[in-house]
Structure 1
Amino acid sequence: MTDKTDFKREIAAYRARQGRFEIVDVPDLRYLMIDGHGDPNTTPAFTGAVEALFPLAYTLKFASKRTLGRDYVVMPLEGLWWAEDMDAFTASRNKSRWDWTLMIMVPDWIDEDMFADAVEQVAAKNRPRRLHEVRLGSLSEGRCVQTLHVGTYDDEADVLARMHHEFIPDNGLRMVGTHHEIYLSDSRRVAPEKLRTILRQPVAAAPAS
């Protein structure tokens, strides 16, 4: 019998507090990743991305336990979000203009061969339509500002506005990289007003004035 690792407990950056912005250092991490564009509520590409990621994530978990004796909890869905005009997130909330990358973190011992085998296994069972668009990649975020948001996704705008336009500049920082969300709740099972989402923004020191 193997111990089961829960990286949400092992990695400090997967913990955040509601009502408080915190500066954290995020380690380099490995993810299953798939790209898309458009409103996540309406575009089939978004649904197709989720349908491809989770079967792969669970297939890799079981392969790791079976072949390596290393079991772990499948991590939550995450998303990188951006637009040509970042006010699309905090002002207009024009979701049709959003670009995104959906991700699920996997341990660093998951290699390309294990990934390729998992793709073949999932394809042999149900072949999600976007399966072969998923890649195994790494993300280096480094220093970030993050907070826990409790509530609907559409209620994030005010929190992000305070993060972007108040906390970050007030602490001598500037935004770099891509807005990042970690979905700690399953939106299919949790009431919208109780959804728990980590909101994260990579930052760097602002240039001296």
Structure 2
Amino acid sequence: MTTRYDIKRELKQCYAPKNTDWALVDVPAQRFIAADGSGDPNTSAGYARAVEALYAVAYTIKFASKADLGRDFVVGPLEGLWWSDDPEVFVTREKGAWQWRMLISQPDWISDDFIEEAKRAALAKKGLPAIAEVRRESLKEGTCAQLLHVGPYDDEGPALARLHHEYLAAHNLRMSGHHHEVYLGDHRRTEPAKFKTVLRQPVQAAD
């Protein structure tokens, strides 16, 4: 029996870190399906629609890959890029000022045309207008500061404050991309105290 491709197994350094304080990691180039928006993810109807559309397309790709290409894979975890004109809003949790791009990683054999065909099939089957907004995204983050956060999302503030105000300066680094989060497990079936989130920040030398 062929083992299904699983991004969490293939890129353990990016999807299964053990360190709970900031450490540097090299993140390879990846391809995703993506959906953009803004505002508080807890209350934004646009956020809920975007995530629903992403999963609809992701599972359509998975099943089509198995049926048409003979290659099965585990749908990757939901990920998010987050940014704002003022990065301190992530420390203070002022969610109305957040911009976001939600992502689900794709295996390297899934072509752009395959994604577009899956979008058409998912839209025909599910009838979700937000599927039309799902697009392809490539990321090459390179050197990143990263840690595993265990607990509620709103408890991330102190870790981000350490990154912004201590870790970067101590290592002569500056932020060079959007704040990135990877949501491990199913938050609908997990109590917040046990949430596991990879927090990642692309960085480069400050000089």
For the aligned pair, the TM-score class normalised by the smaller chain equals: over 0.9
1:90 aligns with 2:91: yes
CA positional deviation for 1:19: 2.4
The match for 1:204 is 204
Which blocks of at least 5 consecutive residues in structure 2 are unaligned?
none
1:69 aligns with 2:70: yes
The match for 1:7 is 7
2:66 aligns to what SS in structure 1? helix
CA positional deviation for 1:185: 2.2
The match for 1:31 is 32
CA positional deviation for 1:164: 1.9
The answer to whether the 8 A contact 2:123-2:129 is kept is no
The answer to whether the 8 A contact 1:187-1:195 is kept is yes
1:25 aligns to what SS in structure 2? strand
The answer to whether the 8 A contact 1:61-1:72 is kept is yes
2:157 aligns to what SS in structure 1? helix
CA positional deviation for 1:73: 0.8
Write out aligned runs for 1:141-160 (5 A): 141-160=141-160
Structure 1 runs of 4+ aligned residues shifted over 6 Å read none
CA positional deviation for 1:148: 0.3
Give the CA RMSD over aligned residues.
1.1
Deviation per CA, 1:172-207: give whole Å up to 9, x if none. 211110000000021111101110000000000111
Q: How many residues align?
A: 206
2:56 aligns to what SS in structure 1? helix
| Distance in 1 of aligned mates of 2:113 and 2:127 | 19
The match for 1:127 is 127
Q: Normalised by the size of structure 1, how large is the TM-score?
A: 0.95
Q: Normalised by the size of structure 2, how large is the TM-score?
A: 0.96
The match for 1:180 is 180
CA positional deviation for 1:2: 3.2
The answer to whether the 8 A contact 1:2-1:69 is kept is no
1:169 aligns with 2:172: no
| Distance in 2 of aligned mates of 1:99 and 1:138 | 18
CA positional deviation for 1:89: 0.5
| Distance in 2 of aligned mates of 1:18 and 1:187 | 21
Query: Residue type of the partner of 2:119?
Result: V
Which blocks of at least 5 consecutive residues in structure 1 are unaligned?
none
CA positional deviation for 1:18: 4.4
| Distance in 2 of aligned mates of 1:17 and 1:66 | 35
The answer to whether the 8 A contact 1:3-1:70 is kept is no
Query: Residue type of the partner of 1:27?
Result: P
